[in-house]
Amino acid sequence: MDTKAFKRSLQHSENYNRKGFGHQAEVATQLQSEYQSNLIQEIRDRNYTLQRGDVTIRLAQAFGFCWGVERAVAMAYETRQHFPTEHIWITNEIIHNPSVNQRMQEMKVDFIPIEGKNKDFSVVGTGDVVILPAFGASVQEMQILHDKGCKIVDTTCPWVSKVWNTVEKHKKIDYTSIIHGKYKHEETVATSSFAGKYLIVLNLQEAQYVADYIINGGNREEFLTKFAKACSAGFDPDRDLERVGIANQTTMLKDETEQIGKLFERTMLQKYGPIELNQHFQSFNTICDATQERQDAMLELVEHNLDLMVVIGGFNSSNTTQLQQIAFERGIPSYHIDTVERIQSGDSIEHRQLNGQLAITKNWLPDGEIVVGITSGASTPDKVVEDVIEKIFAVKATAAMV
Ligand code: SF4
């Protein structure tokens, strides 16, 4: 498919909207009352610190809703206002946050059902309204919806669209896109649908494996098995790694994306020499500012003397997991939770570990005076962060009375 031509024709269609419907002022009040928090504003005003009883809270200086997420949620609310009676669908969670997705369902915005491993678009009728979430949708999904005559409201974050433009550029000059991301993540699925030849690497270790293959060759079968789910159809490592460009899932660790970019630049330099480098390597900066700011704020926060960290965000939120990883690497006891209900009682918390498994930790709040670092992923409303902080204060106050 000529994805660029399809996107162009979609954007000119009267059934397509990516700018909202002019109800910003009305939904702004609603969003403020549902998602914002006076307590969080107070902590911001107090230089990101608040002490109550035995607990000192230290908030990261950048956390929570990024502008891309805020924009997507606001557009979804506007869509409901603009189409009060139409059936509204969304191709995926609008963002990775359970409370926001629950609100969508209360507003009668339905998720496209999944049959087996695939979405069942047969439920969507002509004239229905379909929202594409902040991390986008694959070009194939867009085409199905366009062909059905649906009204498409595209909330894809412009940073994600920038990555799509980058892989389009690679495709045009016949480069393979090396995408730093998780092959199953919806954003990476969408990005790879716009790419020509692509290979998805999860981390620096996988990137190093590919770089070694470029320099020394290797076991082709092993390569294809390793990346079986993470490359374009018909990918041939002996043919398709001669010219590469870098792209990324916008929520990966930015340092790692940069290191992967530099690794492939060095690799191509070694293989082809400085004069030929530009014919074999392309890199554009597609790291999202919001992800970068949240990671930088976390790096600053973990420099303080913290007894523990609480990282708040959806369990399938990639950028939240990255924040958790930073705490883990510093050896700080860190608990990734998605809602306040995970704090089950005075001494017990249910949390997601880096390996994806849930665990219950008892006696997670030490006795006496403690300093708790708090941050949240880009999909987490301030209200959820407030609930967690209030719960920690309450648990410690109760413990102090016993
Ligand atoms: S994290 Fe960045 S790319 Fe993702 S929605 Fe927010 S602003 Fe956009």
List the residue whose alpha carbon is closest to atom 6 of ligand 1.
68
Cβ neighbours of 115 (radius 10 Å):
11
Report how far ligand 1's centroid is from the alpha carbon of 319 (Å): 9
Question: Do 102 and 154 touch, CB atoms closer than 8 A?
Answer: no
* pLDDT at site 117: 81
Over residues 317-332, the mean pLDDT reads 91
The whole-angstrom separation of Cα 401 and Cα 43 is 25
Distance of CA 249 to the CA centre of its chain: 8
| Position 345 pLDDT exceeds 80 | no
Of the candidates 187, 206, 256, 386, the residue annotated as catalytic is: 187
Residue 72 alpha carbon, nearest atom of ligand 1 = 5
Point out which residues pair with 49 in neighbouring strands.
58
187 is a catalytic site residue: yes
Ligand 1 binding site (Cβ under 6 Å of any ligand atom): 66-69, 134, 157, 159-160, 250-251, 288, 290-291, 319, 378
Helices 289-301 and 318-329: crossing angle, nearest 10°?
30
Residue with tokens 């407030």: 386
| Position 213 pLDDT exceeds 80 | yes
* pLDDT at site 346: 64
Tell me 380's DSSP state. -
Q: Are strands 281-283 and 244-248 parallel, antiparallel or unpaired?
A: parallel
Residue 289 alpha carbon, nearest atom of ligand 1 = 2
* pLDDT at site 287: 80
Q: Tell me: the pLDDT tens digits for 71-123?
A: 999 999 999 999 999 999 999 888 888 888 889 999 999 999 988 888 999 99
Sign, CA torsion 66/134/257/5: negative
The tokens for 217 are: 């060759």
Global confidence as pTM: 0.88
DSSP SS3 for 398: helix
Q: Tell me: the pLDDT tens digits for 246-269?
A: 999 998 888 899 999 999 999 999
